[in-house]
């Protein structure tokens, strides 16, 4: 009998102590997990700029584009929101549908949080008018209150992609006189999604076609939400 009580006591200890430890951390502990910053500022000689012992990092500058409803969007209007930024074009039949379906999963997880915004910028803006973007969006059914599909002037967007987001982009559609150019090969762009914090520092870069990377994006958005509390 004593042996039975002894085993029961051990079992209770094994079950109760982890639960108490969790309650203690939940009540008194601080979440120390943080995220790195990307894209350090370089000085004129190409070295990383350091001020008062700290590395200086780029922030995304203000820009102005047009959304799927034909409304102007100034990036500065998003204020201190978290942003997930990606690049696509509606005629893309390879990575873009996968990318946008995956981002739709992420957006679904945060649709009730007005501080998390999704910006999808077309790199084929001459074709991707607001009306085209609105029709395209119906394929993956985003919540428009926090997801904007954006278009604008092509040269402006390409400079934005390269200079601000540090990603590749190119348009070879005008180099084929036969008219038989594969549209997926005509435009070069990245499959990456970038996570921006409340101060517009880039805090994460993800392959938006990869399910595991998408799960990491969801987890790290939660980290930024907690960091801002």
- Residues belonging to the binding site for Cu cation are 92, 96, 189
Are the C-beta atoms of residues 48 and 190 closer than 8 Å to each other? no
The maximal CA–CA distance of the chain, rounded, in angstroms, is 91
Torsion of the alpha carbons at 80, 81, 87 and 92, rounded to the nearest 10: -160
Torsion of the alpha carbons at 98, 176, 129 and 161, rounded to the nearest 10: 60
Binding region: 92, 96, 189
Q: Where are the beta strands (DSSP E) in 40-191?
A: 50-51, 54-55, 64-66, 72-74, 82-88, 116-122, 147-150, 169-171, 187-189
């Amino acid at each position: 009998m004593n042996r039975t009580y002894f085993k029961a006591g051990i079992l209770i200890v094994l079950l109760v102590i982890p639960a108490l430890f969790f309650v203690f951390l939940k009540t008194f502990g601080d979440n120390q997990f943080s995220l790195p910053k990307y894209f350090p500022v370089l000085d004129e000689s190409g070295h990383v700029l350091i001020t008062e012992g700290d590395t200086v990092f780029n922030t995304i500058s203000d820009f102005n584009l047009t959304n799927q409803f034909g409304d102007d969007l100034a990036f500065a209007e998003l204020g201190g929101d978290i942003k997930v930024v990606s690049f696509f074009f509606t005629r893309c039949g390879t990575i873009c549908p996968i990318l946008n379906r995956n981002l739709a999963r992420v957006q679904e997880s945060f649709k009730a949080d007005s501080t998390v915004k999704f910006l999808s910028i077309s790199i084929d803006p001459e074709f991707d008018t607001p009306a085209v973007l609105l029709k395209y969006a119906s394929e993956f059914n985003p919540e428009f209150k926090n997801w904007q599909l954006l278009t604008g002037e092509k040269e402006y967007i390409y400079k934005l992609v390269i200079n601000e987001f540090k990603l590749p982009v190119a348009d070879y559609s005008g180099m084929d006189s036969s008219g038989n150019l594969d549209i997926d090969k005509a435009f070069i762009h990245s499959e990456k999604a970038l996570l921006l914090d409340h101060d517009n520092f880039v805090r994460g870069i993800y392959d938006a076609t990869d399910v595991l990377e998408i799960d990491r994006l969801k987890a790290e958005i939660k980290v930024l939400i907690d960091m801002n509390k």
